[in-house]
């Protein structure tokens, strides 16, 4: 980092927790059905190393959470004590203190600007995802809709916050994000007869009759009608139509190479037989990220992660409106009514170089940014103080992180850094880590 850094030393003792610059945390694991099994999963490895929890080779490990959300809170680890599963330190329940509890008793660690905007709530939720099969076709509500949904269905929509998010690829990563262009949509309607069989001739003809002179709102209305008719179709109709679609594609595959999206549809149907989301996949952009590339998603934008592993960051929320490719609760009416129906390919972030080892990914959301730091052997980098808090996760290697004291870190370690903390990171063998923090542009404003 090129800017001059101001280092501060924070030292406090609270309920037996000795804190001197960096706070060690245990994260929370989610065993969703779409996760990768056992040690094939990056999430499982991180969870095992971070908490000491035993890995079940037959269990899917989908998400590793680092933050303060009630659905998967992080816990503080007392200095010098060995952690066990679920955030306990050897010594019993006395040590089970959530990061949120600790922040509320030490609010200055967030910095004055963050406190003024979000109170004592950490504004971002940091995750690692291991995706073996597609997640649901979903969208996240904006703030107003999140408040309404939480009030009406608190058991389904767990909080009243919006959930913009960003995924940064650790491996090659596949996703469906946003609706295809009008040009591609017309081709799809003409070449996928099963869509017309589901929605009828009229919505399809409206798509084909659109032209460049039609206003954006008219195009959105036509797309909305098409998508809503498809997602609301009778399940028996979908089952019959998908059988025809898969049979047709298998025959075509003998005569020509299928398109990437046709091949994807065959994969999705094996994962979610007779699911309307298989057909809906034709309407979305199919995105493939290389490691080190990121995409971000605003409120009310449809998406579905398909395959791969990533670091994910979002506003602190767990609100998901689902309508396909899932055994979970579906809310088709809400999803179809909330979407923006914008037709554009998502922006792919390559990151901005902060120094030879660190890239920063800045989405257009105040709540978060992510840094990717890969240190080679015998190297050192300085993270200057940020006006807001940070969470670091070590993905590989080992080294040290030094504030007013030196911490030895290795794969699986998760650390919270208060606002205005200058950190020197060094390694002799190599170190790979990620940092989540409040968006730097927020403080510039």
CB 361 within 8 A of CB 349: yes
The pLDDT confidence band at residue 215, using thresholds 50, 70 and 90, is confident
- Residue 273 is encoded by which pair of tokens? 């037989």
- As given in the structure block, the two tokens for residue 89 are 């330190």
Segment holding 425, helix H or strand E = strand 423-427
| Mutual angle of helices 216-231 and 201-209, in 10-degree steps | 160
**Which residues are documented as binding site?**
138, 140, 165, 303
Query: pLDDT averaged over the chain?
Result: 90
What is the pLDDT at residue 116? 95
Helices and strands, number each (H, E), in the chain: 13, 26
**Catalytic pick from 24, 45, 322, 360?**
322
Looking at residue 328, its pLDDT comes to 87
Q: In this predicted structure, what is the pLDDT of residue 254?
A: 92
Q: How do residues 409-426 score in pLDDT, each as one tens digit?
A: 999 999 999 999 999 999
Residues flagged as binding site for Zn(2+) = 138, 140, 165, 303
Q: Which of 166, 144, 142, 117 is nearest to 364 (CA)?
A: 166
Rounded-to-integer distance, Cα 307 and Cα 314, Å: 19
Superfamily of domain 26-174: Jelly Rolls (2.60.120.10)
Contact at 8 Å (CB) between 163 and 314?
yes
| DSSP helix/strand/coil, 276 | helix
Judge whether 274 and 239 are in contact, CB under 8 Å.
yes
Q: What are phi and psi of 169, to 5 degrees?
A: -70, 130
| pLDDT level of residue 4 (50, 70, 90 thresholds) | very low
Sign of CA dihedral 293, 286, 310, 360: positive
Confirm if 27 and 127 have CB atoms less than 8 A apart: no
Q: Where in the chain is the domain with CATH 1.10.441.10?
A: 181-282
Interatomic CA distance for residues 162 and 149, integer angstroms: 11
Q: Where in the chain is the domain with CATH 2.60.120.10?
A: 26-174
Cβ proximity of 189 and 207 under 8 Å: yes
How far apart, in whole angstroms, are the C-alpha atoms of residue 394 and residue 389?
Answer: 17
Cβ atoms of 367 and 296 within 8 Å: the answer is no
Tokens representing 285 are: 């952009």
Question: Is 24 part of the annotated catalytic residue set?
Answer: no
As a whole number of Å, the CA-based R_g of the chain is 23
**pLDDT bracket for residue 142 (50, 70, 90):** confident
Interatomic CA distance for residues 315 and 142, integer angstroms:
11
Beta bridge partners of 361: 370
CA distances to 173, 174, 329 from 401, rounded to whole Å, are 30, 33, 43
**36-63 pLDDT, tens per residue?**
999 899 999 999 999 999 999 999 999 9
Tell me, what DSSP letter sits at residue 87? G
Could you say which DSSP state residue 282 is in? G
CATH 1.10.441.10 fits 181-282, yes or no: yes
What confidence tens digit (pLDDT) does each residue in 63-105 have?
999 999 999 999 999 765 444 444 444 434 445 899 999 999 9
Q: Tell me the average pLDDT across 156-179.
A: 90
Where do runs of H (alpha helix) occur along 389-435? none
First to last CA, the chain: 20
- Percent of the chain past pLDDT 70, that is, above it, reads 92
């Amino acid at each position: 980092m090129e800017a001059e850094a101001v280092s501060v030393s924070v030292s406090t003792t609270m309920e037996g927790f000795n804190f001197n610059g960096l706070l060690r945390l245990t994260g929370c694991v989610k065993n969703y059905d779409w996760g990768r099994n056992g040690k094939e999963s990056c999430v499982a490895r991180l969870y095992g190393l971070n908490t000491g929890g035993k890995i079940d080779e037959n269990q899917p490990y989908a998400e590793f959470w680092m933050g303060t959300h009630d659905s998967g809170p992080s816990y503080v680890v007392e200095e010098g004590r060995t952690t066990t599963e679920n955030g306990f330190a050897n010594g019993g329940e006395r040590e089970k203190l959530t990061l949120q509890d600790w922040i509320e008793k030490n609010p200055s660690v967030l910095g004055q600007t963050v406190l003024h905007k979000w109170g004592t709530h950490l504004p971002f939720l940091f995750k690692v995802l291991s995706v073996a099969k597609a997640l649901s076709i979903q969208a996240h509500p904006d703030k107003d809709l999140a408040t309404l949904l939480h009030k009406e269905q608190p058991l389904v929509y767990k909080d009243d916050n919006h959930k913009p998010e960003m995924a940064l690829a650790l491996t090659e990563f596949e996703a469906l994000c946003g609706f295809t262009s009008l040009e591609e949509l017309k081709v799809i309607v003409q070449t996928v007869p099963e869509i017309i069989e589901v929605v009828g001739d009229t919505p399809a003809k409206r798509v084909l009759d659109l032209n460049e002179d039609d206003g954006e709102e008219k195009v959105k209305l036509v797309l909305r009608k098409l998508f809503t008719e498809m997602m609301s179709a009778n399940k028996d109709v979908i089952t019959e139509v998908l059988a025809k679609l898969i049979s047709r594609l298998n025959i075509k595959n003998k005569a020509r190479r299928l398109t990437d999206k046709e091949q994807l549809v065959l994969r999705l149907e094996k994962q979610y037989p007779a699911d309307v989301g298989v057909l809906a996949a034709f309407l979305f952009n199919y995105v493939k990220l290389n490691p080190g590339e990121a995409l971000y998603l605003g409120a009310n934008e449809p998406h579905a992660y398909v395959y791969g592993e990533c670091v994910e960051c979002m506003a602190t929320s767990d609100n998901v409106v689902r309508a396909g490719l899932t055994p979970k609760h579906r809310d088709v009416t809400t999803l179809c009514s909330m979407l923006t129906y914008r037709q554009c390919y998502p922006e792919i972030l390559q990151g901005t170089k902060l120094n030879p080892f660190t890239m920063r990914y800045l989405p257009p959301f105040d709540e978060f940014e992510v840094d990717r730091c890969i240190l080679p052997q015998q190297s050192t980098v300085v993270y200057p103080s940020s006006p807001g808090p940070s969470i670091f996760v070590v993905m590989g290697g080992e080294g040290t992180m030094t504030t007013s004291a030196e911490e030895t870190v290795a794969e699986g370690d998760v650390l919270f850094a208060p606002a205005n903390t200058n950190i020197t990171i060094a390694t002799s063998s190599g170190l790979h880590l990620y940092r989540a923090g409040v968006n730097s542009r927020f403080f510039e404003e």
